[in-house]
């Protein structure tokens, strides 16, 4: 996709801070966060005491290693309000993760936390070339999910015109693209594909819309999927990363160089660890991302284990930003499927599917255990032209895809090509994996 966007900064001073100055700011903020958490949150006080560390022990950024980790279960155990470091009277907003199993994760924001959130999303949007002249079609879900309201407030901060559409009613969304003429689309990458498909079904072409920039995130997606979305919607796609535990979207985002996502590291301090041993890894190695909030008041998080696997590149980016960059996620350590002892990431399967022109990138991975043996089945949609052909042609494609999958995964996966539009579409995060094994 040709580069149609300008390199813009929302907060040039913060985003281009020299390394030594950055370290000073990070340490100062880390010390304040640790003190606030220790003094106000019984959970943190206990965890620090158990490790025999005190807030005063944090004398350099290196000392971060001495602090205890926080994991998702700690957040669940303290549901809903027990990790807050301020009285409820100072909380102006609550959000929660979708949490398909068990209790959701609750996020809380003081007025100042809201300012920080808008700031980091405004930086992410500006890095993609969004300005006050843009019309932003926001199809992230509104409500408890941080995506909708997060991008909404960030776009308003920039001064863009926000269309708060939320997810769903896809035909109406495409109608609004034609009538309201938005230039920026915000949604999950899987929903972007649904909208592309809807647009094609309605006979609406690229000349009928004027989308220029896409801000996609909240779920894993591949580079091939990016190219697919870019060509079908005629826009330049920018990866957006965040999580409810930290703030929601705005933790990191791509700039026009598309070489990883800039972490807003004056607000979120990143580390990489070995997910097995918990040992700190050097930037550049592949490991689990651990994040510490540096400015959050209502809900400080210390060394939160995201389970997201990535690497970090600390080299300054050609765009001029000095904020470190995290690479596209290689999956979540806990989303990783272990099939007959082999680690399988859904993104690998998606990569193979996207290479096949007879297939639509709508798929589901079903894992079952038959006679103690794991079986993996990939159900994927055919394009109309393939489905109209006779069965032998479908079988030929099935065989070819199966071979490609086996080569990539190192295990045998059954492939089933299903009719066009038969896999349920999602308006938010797609549910790609159905694991029918009872592993707990």
Q: Which of left, alpha, beta for 87 (phi over 0: left; psi -120 to 50: alpha)?
A: beta
User: Does the footprint of ligand ADP cover residue 239 (CB under 6 A)?
Assistant: yes
Residue burial 137-176, b: 16+ Cβ < 10 Å; e: rest: bbbbbbebbbbbbbbbbbbbbbebbbbbbbbeebeebbeb
State which residue, 55 or 148, has the beta carbon closest to ligand ADP. Answer: 148
Q: Interface with ligand ADP includes 72 (CB under 6 A)?
A: no
- Cβ–Cβ < 8 Å for 182, 213: no
Told to check if 99 binds ligand ADP by CB under 6 A, we report: yes
Judged by CB under 6 A, the chain residues 244 through 263 that form the site for ligand ADP are 244
Quickly count: other Cβ atoms within 10 Å of residue 258's Cβ: 17
Task: Kindly tell me which residue out of 155, 185, 243, 281 binds ligand ADP, with binding defined by CB under 6 A.
Answer: 243
Beta strand 213-217 with 184-187 is parallel
Of residues 253 through 292, those in contact with Zn ion by CB under 5 A are: 255, 257
In whole angstroms, what is the distance from residue 414 CA to residue 379 CA?
A: 8
Q: How far is the CB of 31 from ligand ADP (least distance, A)?
A: 26
Closest CA to 383 of 414, 354, 419: 419
Sole window of 60-68, 156-164, 235-243, 398-406 interacting with ligand ADP (rule: CB under 6 A):
235-243
Please, which residues bridge with residue 249 across strands?
242
Other CB atoms within a 10 A radius of the CB of residue 59 amount to: 9
Residue 312, interface with Zn ion (CB under 5 A)? no
In the bound state with ligand ADP, the residue whose beta carbon lies nearer, of 26 and 306, is 306
Note whether 123 binds Zn ion by CB under 5 A.
no
The entry of Zn ion, ligand ADP, none near residue 313 (CB within 5 to 8 angstroms by kind) is none
Using the minimum distance from each CB to ligand ADP, give the nearer residue, 167 or 217.
217
Candidate residues 7, 11, 98, 412; the one interacting with ligand ADP per rule CB under 6 A: 98
Q: Which is nearer to ligand ADP, 157 or 307 (CB)?
A: 307
Verify cis geometry, omega within 30 degrees of 0, for the bond prior to 146.
no
Per CB under 6 A, 329 contacts ligand ADP: yes
Query: Near ligand ADP by CB under 6 A, which window of 53-61, 92-100, 164-172, 202-210?
Result: 92-100
Residues 6+ apart with CB under 8 A from 392: none
**According to the binding rule CB under 6 A, does residue 97 interact with ligand ADP?**
yes
Q: Please choose which of Zn ion, ligand ADP, none residue 336 contacts, taking the beta carbon within 5 to 8 angstroms, the exact cut-off set by kind.
A: none
Spatial neighbors of 51 by CB under 8 A, at least 6 apart, are 66, 67, 68
Residue 297 corresponds to which tokens in the numbers above? Answer: 């008041």
Q: CA-CA distance, 65 to 59, in Å (whole number)?
A: 12
By a kind-dependent CB cut-off of 5 to 8 A, residue 321 interacts, out of Zn ion, ligand ADP, none, with Zn ion
Min. distance of Cβ 239 from Zn ion in angstroms?
12
Using CB under 6 A as the binding rule, whether residue 293 contacts ligand ADP is answered as no
> Binding to Zn ion by residue 319, rule CB under 5 A?
yes
Among 137, 321, 429, 432, binds Zn ion (CB under 5 A): 321
243 binds, among ligand ADP, Zn ion, none (CB under 5 to 8 A by kind): ligand ADP
Q: Is 217 in the site for ligand ADP (CB under 6 A)?
A: yes
Query: Is residue 220 a contact residue for ligand ADP (CB under 6 A)?
Result: yes
From 93-101, 128-136, 205-213, 405-413, span contacting ligand ADP (CB under 6 A): 93-101
Sheet of 261-263, strands arranged across: 161-164, 135-138, 184-187, 213-217, 236-243, 248-254, 261-263, 325-326, 312-313
- At 169, list the tokens: 């009613």
Cβ-count burial 291-322 (b if 16+ within 10 Å, e if not): bbbbbbbbbbbbbbbbbbbbbbeeeebebebb
- Binding of Zn ion at residue 317 (CB under 5 A)? yes
Extract the tokens encoding 254. Answer: 């791509």
Q: Which is nearer to ligand ADP, 240 or 364 (CB)?
A: 240
Q: Which residues bind ligand ADP (CB under 6 A)?
A: 97-99, 217-220, 239-244, 306, 308, 329, 332
Q: Which residues bind Zn ion (CB under 5 A)?
A: 255, 257, 317, 319, 321
């Amino acid at each position: 996709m040709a580069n149609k966007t300008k390199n813009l900064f929302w907060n040039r001073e913060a985003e281009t801070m020299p390394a030594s100055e950055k370290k000073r700011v990070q340490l100062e903020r880390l010390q304040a966060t640790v003190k606030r958490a220790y003094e106000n949150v019984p959970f943190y006080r206990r965890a620090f005491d158990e490790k025999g560390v005190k807030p005063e022990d944090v004398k350099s950024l290196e000392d971060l290693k001495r602090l205890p980790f926080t994991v998702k279960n700690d957040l669940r155990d303290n549901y809903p309000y027990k990790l807050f470091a301020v009285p409820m009277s100072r909380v102006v907003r609550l959000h929660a993760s979708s949490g398909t199993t068990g209790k959701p994760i609750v996020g809380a924001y003081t007025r100042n936390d809201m300012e920080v959130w808008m700031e980091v999303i405004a930086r992410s949007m500006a890095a993609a070339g969004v300005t006050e002249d843009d019309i932003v079609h926001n199809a992230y879900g509104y409500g408890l999910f941080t995506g909708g309201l997060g991008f909404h407030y960030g776009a308003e901060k920039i001064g863009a015109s926000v269309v708060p559409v939320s997810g769903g009613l896809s035909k109406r969304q495409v109608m609004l693209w034609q009538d309201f003429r938005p230039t920026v689309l915000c949604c999950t990458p899987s929903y972007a594909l649904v909208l592309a498909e809807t647009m094609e079904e309605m006979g609406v072409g690229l000349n009928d819309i004027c989308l220029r920039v896409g801000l996609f995130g909240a779920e894993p997606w591949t580079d091939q999927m990016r190219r697919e979305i870019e060509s079908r919607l005629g826009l330049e796609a920018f990866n957006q990363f965040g999580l409810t535990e930290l703030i929601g979207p705005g933790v990191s985002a791509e700039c026009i160089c598309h070489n990883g996502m800039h972490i807003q590291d004056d607000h979120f301090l990143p580390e990489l660890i070995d997910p097995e041993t918990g040992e700190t890894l050097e930037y550049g190695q592949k490991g689990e991302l651990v994040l510490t909030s540096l400015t959050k008041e209502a809900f400080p998080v210390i060394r939160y284990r995201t389970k997201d696997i990535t690497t970090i590149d600390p080299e300054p980016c050609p765009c001029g930003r000095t904020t470190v960059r995290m690479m596209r996620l290689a999956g979540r350590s806990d989303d990783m499927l272990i099939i007959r002892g082999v680690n399988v990431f859904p993104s690998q399967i998606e990569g193979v599917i996207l290479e096949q022109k007879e297939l639509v990138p709508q798929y589901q991975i079903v894992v079952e255990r038959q006679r103690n043996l794991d079986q993996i089945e990939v159900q994927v949609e055919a394009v109309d032209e393939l489905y109209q052909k006779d069965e032998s042609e479908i079988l030929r494609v099935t065989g070819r895809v199966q071979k490609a999958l086996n080569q990539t995964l190192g295990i045998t996966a059954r492939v089933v090509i299903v009719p066009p539009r038969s896999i349920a579409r999602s308006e938010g995060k797609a549910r790609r994996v159905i694991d029918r094994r009872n592993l707990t």
